[in-house]
Amino acid sequence: MLENAITMILIILSINIVYVSLSTIRIILTFKGKKYIAASIGTFEIMLYTVGLGIVLDNLDRIENLIAYGIGYGLGVIVGSKIEERLALGYINVNVISADPELDFTRRLREKGFGVTSWNARGMDGDRLAMQILTPRKYEAYLYQTIKAIDPKAFIISYEPKNINGGFWVKQVKKGRIKKHVEEIEKKAPEPEAE
């Protein structure tokens, strides 16, 4: 009897972790415009949801099943978020402002394969170098590390663009230029160049 109850709890917990993880990924894929993949995941997701909820509703007298359902839901949110972080779908747009407009910032970022548009700007305390950098999300941490190595005091804001069209940068991504730089660095494992 106890063994059956534990098995039932583990089944409910597992179903909900998988269901909510799929739900999280489906929502993200929908926002990224990947509707057919999202719809496929949604089909499997709703079947799991129905089975899990059915088990709980058939055994409402067992409070441990309801608790397992709730805990599985919470864990599913965490697992789904972690999966999404690992997939790193889409792109990130990073705006950088350096207080030192004389730094060779733009060239160094371009050498690493990043698409950079830069311009001179005027801040409260004087001249600045402003840059806009677009990169696949999977290289976001590497970009931040590189920026901080060049200018530890750089002001950085990032956001996720919804649409991207044309430009030099798109060609660079297709050529895999950033990927090559990241792979070389991962092999050698040094820190980005510091000023």
Tens-digit pLDDT profile for residues 76-135: 999 998 988 888 777 888 999 998 888 788 888 888 888 888 898 988 888 899 999 988
- Residues 186, 193: Cα–Cα separation, whole Å: 14
CB neighbourhood size of 132 (10 A): 13
Task: Give residue limits of the domains in the chain.
Answer: 2-87, 91-188
Write the CATH number of the domain with boundaries 91-188.
Answer: 3.30.70.120
Q: Strands, E, within the chain: which ranges?
A: 91-98, 115-123, 126-136, 155-159
Percent of the chain whose predicted confidence (pLDDT) is above 70 = 82
pTM of the model: 0.62
What Rg value do the Cα atoms of the chain yield, rounded? 23
